[in-house]
Amino acid sequence: DTGVSQNPRHKITKRGQNVTFRCDPISEHNRLYWYRQTLGQGPEFLTYFQNEAQLEKSRLLSDRFSAERPKGSFSTLEIQRTEQGDSAMYLCASSLGSGSNQPQHFGDGTRLSIL
Amino acid sequence: AQSVTQLDSHVSVSEGTPVLLRCNYSSSYSPSLFWYVQHPNKGLQLLLKYTSAATLVKGINGFEAEFKKSETSFHLTKPSAHMSDAAEYFCVVSEELNYGGSQGNLIFGKGTKLSVKP
């Protein structure tokens, strides 16, 4: 169990650029979640996958955001035409099973800064 | 809708004294509740979880939480604070669907920053 891995740890980009983040979940975890955390706030749910299927998307996930999980393993989160308001920590979590009592294991996040 | 309210944004204690971080939740069904800890520039680590088996839940690093349905509370406690406990703590409820099922995504409180003075 090597834990949830996120890359890159930090990303600085100019407004209007596209960015892509990667998340490698704990192996054999079938659920994968993306959250966004802004300064001084708790994480907010963005979207989640069960295996390769994206089952739920938050209203926070505008059409500039897209997430994929090909083959049900790693996941990518892409933001197109970045805006100042996209600056945040993007957290990935994974869990095993589908019950609400299954704990989610979090990565260390990708911190995005928009210049 | 489910929600979580952490009653204190900042708690300061002296090393060796008890810790109490307060949390109230709102849920229509039997909730799953969690406490997570986040150290600066790090991800979140699970401290403990409540899933209806026992109302007093023991977690890692000496933390405990008691589920009180009548008070809709899930406060986090520790008998004796250590300097390494200084971090941000999040009370979390697992989101439920209308029919009582769950899709598992978490709803976080705004966090309580714990400071520990030497």
CB contact under 8 A, A44 and B108: yes
Residue of A nearest to B102 (CA): A100
Residue of B nearest to A104 (CA): B46
Q: Which residues in B lie closer than 8 A to residue A113 (C-beta atoms)?
A: none
A2 Cα to chain B: minimum distance (Å): 14
Q: Which residues make Cβ contacts (< 8 Å) with residue B53, sequence separation at least 6?
A: none
Give me chain A's average pLDDT, please: 92
Give the pLDDT score at A32. 94
Asked if residues A16 and A82 have their Cβ atoms less than 8 Å apart, the reply is yes
**Average pLDDT value for residue range B70-94:** 95
Residue predicted with more confidence, B65 or A58:
B65
Q: Does B87 touch chain A (CB under 8 A)?
A: no
Q: Which residues in B lie closer than 8 A to residue A109 (C-beta atoms)?
A: 42-43
Residue predicted with more confidence, B15 or B51:
B15
Give the pLDDT score at B103. 60
For the ranges A74-78, B42-46, B100-104, the one whose mean pLDDT is highest:
A74-78
Radius of gyration of chain B from its Cα atoms, rounded to whole angstroms:
14
pLDDT in tens, A5-59: 999 999 999 999 999 999 999 998 999 999 999 988 899 999 999 999 998 888 8
How many angstroms separate the first and last alpha carbons of chain A? 36
Give the pLDDT score at A99. 65
Give me chain B's average pLDDT, please: 89
Exposed, middle or buried, A71 (CB in 10 Å: 0-12/13-18/19+)?
Answer: exposed
* Cα three-residue angle A25-A27-A30, rounded to 5 degrees: 75
